[in-house]
Amino acid sequence: MLKKLPPAFRNFYVVTGLLFFIWLLLLDSNDLISRFKMTAKVNSLENEKEFYLEKISEVEKDRKELLTNKELLEKFAREKYLMKKETEDIFIIQEE
């Protein structure tokens, strides 16, 4: 039976190397499929990181504007947190 195999497959080192390669390719915890999934996840997380860095820069810009402009700060407080002066009444209109 061994005589029917090609000479390369009768060599112990070639067979061991092929088995090791198959093990790494398909069966190991760091196999090729897992590597592709991890790479895709890393790319997705990097895109999210860029998105959130942009949002952080926008919020920092808005914060700087709010801290330097009193009228804008009052408008923001009234709209966002429904703050009012003591002599005012607030009416909230909800659209359906």
Predicted local confidence at residue 54, as pLDDT = 97
| 57 vs 15 pLDDT, higher one | 57
Question: Average pLDDT, whole number, for the chain?
Answer: 86
pLDDT in tens, 31-70: 888 889 999 999 999 999 999 999 999 999 988 988 898 8
How is the chain split into domains, by residue range? 29-83
Predicted local confidence at residue 1, as pLDDT = 64
Checking if the pLDDT of 96 tops 80, the result is yes
Backbone dihedral region for residue 90 (phi beyond 0: left; psi -120 to 50: alpha; all else: beta): beta
Using CA atoms, how far apart are residues 28 and 37, in angstroms rounded to an integer? 14
Query: pLDDT confidence of 17, banded at 50, 70, 90?
Result: very high
DSSP assignment of the chain equals -GGGS-HHHHSHHHHHHHHHHHIIIIISTT-HHHHHHHHHHHHHHHHHHHHHHHHHHHHHHHHHHHHH-HHHHHHHHHHHH----TT---------
